[in-house]
Amino acid sequence: MALNETHDPRLQSWVASANAADTDFTIQNLPLGVFRRAGSSEAFRGGVAIGDQVLDLAAALKAGVLGVPAAVAQPVLNEFMAAGPAAWAALRLELSRALRSGSTQRAALTSCLLPQAEAQYALPARIGDYTDFYTSIYHATAVGRLFRPDNPLLPNYKWMPIAYHGRCSSIAISGQQFPRPSGQIFTGGSETAAGAPTLAPSRRLDYELELGVFIGAGNEPGSAIGIEAAESNVFGLCLLNDWSARDLQAWEYQPLGPFLGKNFATTISPWIVTWEALQPFRVPWMRPEDDPQPLPYLDSTELRARGAIDLQLEVWLQSEAMRRAGQKPCRLSHTNFRHAYWNIAQMLAHHTINGCNLRPGDLLGTGTQSGPQAAEAGSMLELSVGGKRALTLPDGETRHFLEDGDAVIMRGWCERAGAARVGFGELIGRVLGARH
Ligand code: CA
């Protein structure tokens, strides 16, 4: 996908806050979400983040200001996701021109703006299926070492992007709060020796720093999406927190993989940064020479040239005590999606190689993103070395895993010289006390 006038870093918007140096929502970004006025019973509808405002696409459509497709005014964006890259690019170009400084549509569009502080968000799509991958080799190795010290990385890892099918019903938008999950926890003896699990609230509750990938048109059952066509089926990306109860997970995960340790809650950020907006930040995808090279269906020249994305990611934490004391969240880690062992095109190509169909609005998780350094870990399990090393918060509290009242905040953005900043905004989720 080539860069075009919408990526021009010189573009400024008549929405002044979109021109601030530190905004995530520049005129080069134009992420899509679904919103309504907070506290109202209005219908949710499509919107675009611009600076600290939301442009109401339903209002713009009704006023006849923009020639946007009716699908973007709906309460979910599945139909627009199904429309494909030409429709997505046409909307982006129209929005870019209408929101630029000097646009003749300024007067008419001003009345279609709502401050983001007054907006409430909903899931941007009816998510039919959710698959969570495991694309960071640093995360896979660190977690594997904790669960299987002798055999951290299983032999299939370097040959295919590993994933499991997750649950959609418990995926919620940023702001999600959920009770600490309970489940079977096995603490006594070894798995082979006599011993019985207990039913208890998880004591090893964790977050996972991930990106979510919203699927565009997808494929018919029985067909496959080839590696070359994969990216044209990616609508855009969001932030994703795959909350994980490590003690439940450790006892249940063999032989069929994650279940109750994962399916109680998943949080995503409200804004989908489109695939087109991310193009200035593409970087080569590389596989170490000593590692197995991918099978042909997972490899391409294009992929080697620019298959990865330079996308910075952060996790922050604010405890209940910090919140009560008016103390700001503290940063736990900072990493980059460019470290992923498998990239997004490979995720789609592998997911469909057996004829499995992806549908518009399906969600893929990238898996926890951890970088090569210990401080770049995307989960608390890694930061606390399996719960053995305490993290100290600025107010002196310590953490091995999440405590009740903890809020986890995730941020992501792209920036480089010669391009405008493109960011994801914020994802926040909070752990409540166990119900039983
Ligand atoms: Ca995960």
336: Cβ–Cβ under 8 A, 6 or more apart, which residues?
Answer: 310, 311, 312, 313, 369, 371, 376
- From the list 351, 416, 322, 309, the residue with the least C-alpha distance to 1 is 309
Mean pLDDT of 245-256: 94
Residue 381 pLDDT > 70: yes
CA of 423 to the centre of ligand 1 (A): 22
Residue 436 pLDDT > 80: no
**3-state SS assignment for residue 373:** coil
**Domain 130-432 classified CATH 3.40.50.12500?**
no
CA of 5 to the centre of ligand 1 (A): 36
State how far the Cα of 211 lies from the Cα of 337, in Å rounded to an integer.
8
316: Cβ–Cβ under 8 A, 6 or more apart, which residues?
Answer: 329, 330, 331, 332, 408, 409, 410, 411
Q: What is the pLDDT of residue 194?
A: 65
Task: Indicate if 165 belongs to the active site.
Answer: no
CATH 2.30.30.230 domain locations along the chain: 5-122
pLDDT tens per residue across span 269-284: 999 999 999 999 999 9
Name the maximum alpha-carbon separation found in the chain.
76
Percent of the chain with pLDDT over 90: 94
In eight-state DSSP terms, residue 294 is: P
The secondary structure of 168-204, three-state, reads CCCEEECCEEEECCEEEECCCCCCCCCCCCEEEECCC
Residue 326 pLDDT > 80: yes
Q: What is the pLDDT of residue 331?
A: 98
CATH 3.90.850.10 domain locations along the chain: 130-432
CA of 35 to the centre of ligand 1 (A): 27
CA of 345 to the centre of ligand 1 (A): 18
CA distances from 87 to 71, 90, 132, 217, 276 (A): 11, 5, 27, 11, 12
Cβ atoms 112, 59 nearer than 8 A = yes
pLDDT range class, residue 189, cuts 50, 70, 90:
low
pLDDT tens per residue across span 12-27: 999 999 999 999 999 9
Residue 187 pLDDT > 90: no
The correct CATH number of 5-122 out of 3.30.1330.100, 3.30.70.3270, 3.40.710.10, 2.30.30.230 is 2.30.30.230
Q: What is the pLDDT of residue 190?
A: 59
CA of 171 to the centre of ligand 1 (A): 13
State how far the Cα of 224 lies from the Cα of 351, in Å rounded to an integer.
8
CA of 74 to the centre of ligand 1 (A): 30
CA of 137 to the centre of ligand 1 (A): 13
- From the list 68, 73, 133, the residue with the least C-alpha distance to 98 is 68
CA of 9 to the centre of ligand 1 (A): 34
- DSSP H or E stretch at residue 230: none
Mean pLDDT of 426-431: 98
Sign of the Cα pseudo-torsion (209, 214, 219, 222, in order): positive
pLDDT range class, residue 68, cuts 50, 70, 90:
confident
State how far the Cα of 323 lies from the Cα of 146, in Å rounded to an integer.
32
CA of 132 to the centre of ligand 1 (A): 6
Match 């040959």 to its residue by tokens: 159
Q: What is the pLDDT of residue 193?
A: 58
The secondary structure of 319-334, three-state, reads CHHHHHCCCCCEEEEE
CA of 52 to the centre of ligand 1 (A): 30
Helix runs in 236-395, H state only: 246-252, 301-306, 320-324, 344-352, 380-383
The amino acid sitting at 200 is: A
The amino acid sitting at 337 is: F
254: Cβ–Cβ under 8 A, 6 or more apart, which residues?
Answer: none
pLDDT tens per residue across span 77-111: 999 999 999 999 999 999 999 999 999 999 999 99
- Residue among 7, 139, 339, 351 flagged as catalytic: 139
CA of 33 to the centre of ligand 1 (A): 23
pLDDT tens per residue across span 142-168: 999 988 888 899 999 999 999 999 999
User: 5-32 in b/e burial notation, b at 16+ Cβ within 10 A?
Assistant: ebbeeebebbbeebbeeebbbbbbbbbb
